[in-house]
């Protein structure tokens, strides 16, 4: 690639004609013209050698890379053709060098002080033309050497090969020989012939040729190999993969799945003693201490967001305490007297109903379900625990379920009500903005271009009504979240009065003008 690029740069100069008139009016003397004419034959011979070398190089590339050329030139090329073409180019280059040196030497001998103003324009033009030919021939010699190496590998290989370039120093315009010379290693003295050959860089070793080539089969019959990677890139599998990825992403971010995972995790942790062997202490503890009460308490307390979990936990604590205390007092008063037990439990239900109809219904519900286990287990003679011990077990198991629910709800996929409220308020503000922009645009169009048709007006009003209904639903939901924020416990102080002012100012749904 570097060789081709350099040849293109030299060819971009174009052909230099010796008969071009001088720009400053200074013409080349006749004796100098006669000397410069001596360069015509060597330049012509070098040009022909370059053309023949390029043809040979093209034939080698066509044969090695499977390219069809006119007149089947790629089929007639032989292994020694690149070397023969290189020899011709080297000889033509040497002849041109000698002729150019001789002409320059003769012109310098005829130099006189009176010709200081002469620019030797003919010599400059001829020298530029000859230098371009010498540079092209040097690059072509390198290319033919490389082509001979490729043709040798192609001839010795059992089957046709293609050569892919791989990263080497050639990509930076440097040969491995020049890189070695720049290293801080002791150099051995070389003869003048070796130095001249090395400096011109007219030859490449086969080692350098192999260093830039990576053989791989090309013209052999292509067989389509099925593999797992190719199968996974088919259109059907790609569509299935994309659909599965979208489904898994939605499943991973689904609030219902996250809550179900927390629910299942808490139950699994609390049920560990229940699945232990019968002889283990954990299994005996679970059966004797009524471990199922902790699971029931966990299921009752855990909620979709942290504020509701804390509120339910507080209700559970108060309800359990009231129920346990009332059951203990009832047992102390009535004991095993069935009439006394029925009378006191009925009186408790009146008190509990007031709690259910109040602003804290959870306290009444929990109190109602706490009294029967504590009161009727000893009354029916189930178990050997005393009423005081049973009350303590009930409080302990309920507390264990509450603690598990609070920890899991705060550590795994926590849903903070304040963040939910702010996100919902952003949607409300966005919908209100779009609604008023739509109404303003409609009013402006009616004033500027007259009223629309009846169907368009009905459709616009229907869209506005639907958007307004959606805003009202969002506002109602945000008011619920705002009331729940009071029960959320956070280390950072939250300005609930500011949210209350915001509620009165912005969350009161008002009908916009239609």
pLDDT at 107 over 50: yes
| Percent of the chain clearing pLDDT 90 (strictly above) | 1
pLDDT tens digits for range 418-471 = 788 888 888 888 888 888 888 888 777 766 665 567 777 778 778 888 888 888
Contact of 140 with 57, CB cutoff 8 Å: yes
Contact of 57 with 143, CB cutoff 8 Å: yes
DSSP readout, 6-36? HHHHHHTT-PPPTTPPPTTS-PPPHHHHHHH
User: CA 289, 290, 293, 294 torsion: positive or negative?
Assistant: positive
Q: Is 217 helix (H, G, I), strand (E, B) or coil?
A: strand
CA–CA gap between residue 383 and residue 505 (Å, rounded)? 60
Cα dihedral 13→19→25→26 (10° resolution): 100
CA–CA gap between residue 257 and residue 210 (Å, rounded)? 60
Residue 256's pLDDT is: 85
Q: Kindly indicate the confidence band of residue 376, based on its pLDDT and cuts at 50, 70 and 90.
A: confident
pLDDT at 183 over 80: no
The token duo for 163 is 């050569």
Work out the mean pLDDT of the chain and round it to a whole number. 75
Contact of 122 with 234, CB cutoff 8 Å: no
**Residue 315, CA distances (Å) to 233, 325, 404 in order:** 57, 15, 16
Length of the chain: 514
CA atoms within a 13 Å half-sphere pointing along the CA-CB vector of 129: 22
E strand residue ranges, 30-182: 161-163
Q: Is 216 helix (H, G, I), strand (E, B) or coil?
A: strand
Q: Which of 339, 317, 341, 318 is nearest to 328 (CA)?
A: 341
Burial 118-131 (b: 16+ CB within 10 A, else e): bebbbbebbbebbe
Note the pTM of the prediction, 2 decimals.
0.46
pLDDT at 270 over 80: yes
Longest CA pairwise span in the chain (Å): 148
Q: State how beta strands 161-163 and 215-217 pair.
A: antiparallel
User: CA 354, 356, 362, 366 torsion: positive or negative?
Assistant: positive
Q: Kindly indicate the confidence band of residue 513, based on its pLDDT and cuts at 50, 70 and 90.
A: very low
pLDDT at 215 over 50: no
Whole-angstrom Cα Rg for the chain: 49
pLDDT tens digits for range 318-344 = 888 888 888 888 888 888 788 888 888
The token duo for 334 is 């009535």
Where is average pLDDT lowest: 9-23, 66-80, 145-159?
A: 9-23
What separation, in Å, do the N-terminal and C-terminal C-alpha atoms of the chain show? 73
The token duo for 246 is 């979208």
Q: Is 452 helix (H, G, I), strand (E, B) or coil?
A: coil
Q: Kindly indicate the confidence band of residue 35, based on its pLDDT and cuts at 50, 70 and 90.
A: confident
Residue 160: burial class (beta carbons within 10 Å; 0-12, 13-18, 19+): middle
């Amino acid at each position: 690639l570097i060789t081709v690029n350099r040849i293109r740069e030299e060819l971009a100069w174009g052909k230099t004609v010796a008969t071009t008139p001088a720009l400053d009016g200074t013409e080349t003397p006749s004796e100098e013209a006669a000397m410069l004419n001596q360069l015509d034959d060597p330049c012509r011979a070098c040009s022909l050698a370059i053309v023949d070398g390029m043809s040979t190089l093209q034939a080698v590339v066509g044969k090695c890379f499977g390219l069809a050329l006119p007149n089947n030139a790629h089929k007639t090329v032989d292994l020694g053709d690149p070397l023969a073409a290189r020899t011709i180019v080297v000889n033509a280059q040497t002849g041109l060098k000698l002729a150019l040196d001789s002409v320059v030497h003769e012109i310098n001998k005829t130099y006189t002080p009176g010709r200081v103003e002469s620019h030797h324009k003919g010599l400059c033009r001829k020298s530029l033309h000859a230098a371009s030919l010498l540079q092209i021939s040097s690059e072509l010699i390198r290319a033919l050497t490389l082509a001979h190496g490729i043709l040798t590998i192609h001839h010795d290989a059992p089957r046709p090969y293609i050569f892919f370039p791989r990263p080497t120093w050639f990509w930076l315009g440097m040969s491995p020989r020049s890189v070695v010379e720049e290293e801080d290693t002791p150099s051995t003295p070389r003869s003048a012939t070796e130095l001249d050959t090395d400096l011109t860089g007219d030859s490449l070793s086969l080692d350098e040729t192999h260093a830039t080539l990576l053989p791989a089969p090309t013209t052999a019959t292509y067989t389509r190999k099925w593999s797992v990677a190719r199968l996974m890139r088919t259109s059907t599998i790609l569509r299935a993969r994309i659909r599965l990825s979208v489904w898994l992403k939605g499943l991973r971010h689904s609030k219902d799945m996250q809550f179900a995972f927390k629910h299942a995790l808490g139950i699994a942790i609390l049920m560990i003693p229940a699945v232990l062997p019968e002889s283990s202490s954990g299994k005996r503890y679970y059966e004797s201490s009524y471990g199922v009460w902790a699971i029931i308490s966990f299921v009752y307390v855990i909620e979709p967001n942290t504020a509701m979990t804390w509120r339910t936990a507080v209700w559970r604590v108060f309800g359990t305490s009231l129920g346990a205390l009332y059951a203990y007092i009832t047992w102390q008063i009535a004991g095993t007297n069935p009439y006394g037990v029925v009378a006191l439990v009925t009186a408790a239900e009146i008190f509990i109903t007031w709690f259910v109809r109040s602003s804290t219904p959870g306290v009444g519900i929990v109190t109602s379900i706490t009294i029967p286990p504590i009161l009727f287990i000893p009354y029916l003679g189930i178990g050997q625990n005393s009423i005081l011990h049973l009350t303590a077990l009930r409080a302990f198991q309920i507390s264990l379920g509450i603690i598990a629910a609070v920890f899991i709800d705060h550590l795994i996929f926590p849903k903070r009500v304040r963040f939910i409220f702010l996100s919902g308020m952003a949607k409300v503000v966005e919908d209100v903005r779009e609604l008023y922009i739509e109404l303003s645009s409609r009013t402006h169009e009616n004033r500027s271009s007259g009223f629309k048709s009846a169907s368009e007006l009905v459709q616009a009003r229907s869209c506005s009504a639907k958007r307004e209904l959606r805003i009202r639903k969002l506002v109602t939901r945000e008011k619920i979240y705002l009331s729940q924020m009071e029960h959320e416990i956070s280390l950072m102080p939250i300005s609930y009065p500011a949210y209350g002012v915001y509620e009165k100012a912005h969350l009161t749904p008002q009908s916009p003008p239609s």
